[in-house]
Structure 1
Amino acid sequence: MTTVAQTSLAQEIARVSRLGNLTAAHLADATGGDPSSARRWRNGTRAPAGEHASRALQLTALVERLAQVMDSTYIPVWLVKPIARLDDRRPVDAIRDGDYRSVSRLVAALEEMPVA
């Protein structure tokens, strides 16, 4: 049986996936979930649980912030690109590994940059 919280989480993941042009692979990479589950999360038909849910929420928070500082079509590229300030890790890998704060600090630096 689906709870209201699970339904809300599923809707949130689906909404932010559209906002940030995320694929199921991005969700799977960032959460450590399997691709078939990530497809259901992205479509809003299921919600992750436990650690997968925590990582998915971290990803959604970052994507919402990234959408404020870059074109949304670049977000999926940024998430899978090795970044020097993350010790050449990809942001999705850092999130999956529990290093949300490092990625969040990097996004904060982007937020502080003057708009060109």
Structure 2
Amino acid sequence: MQLNQLSHPQRVRLLYKTILRLHRGLPTELRALGDNYVRDEFRRHLKCNPMEAQLFMTEWARYASTITQQLGLRGKPKGEIGEHLDEKAVEMLKDDQVVQLYELMLASKGLHGDTITADDVRGK
């Protein structure tokens, strides 16, 4: 069966499982962090509108492609994992996304307990 013959839920499930499989090649700490983040994001977008779903799938497919390139065919990191965020892309994020990104950065560096809220971002 070809990818374009799959239903939307089947494509989502395939992407989700592909990403979790790719994470097996990450260092242990990053794998746990990445797996938890992916599970949370996919759960959070279960009932999003079609436009958000298309953007969601496009961005996660791009992520899977990037990880595939960085891990290579054998699933071993070929250098630095991840990529730097474009400043313009960060500026386009919603307040709650900035908070989530900040908390993800803290977790990736092993820093816990220093969290901010969307109100902190808005300066309230």
Structure having the higher Rg: 2
Q: TM-score range by the shorter chain?
A: 0.3 to 0.5
Q: TM-score, normalised by structure 2?
A: 0.39
Q: TM-score, normalised by structure 1?
A: 0.41
Using CA pairs under 8 Å that are at least 6 residues apart, name the structure with larger relative contact order, 1 or 2.
1
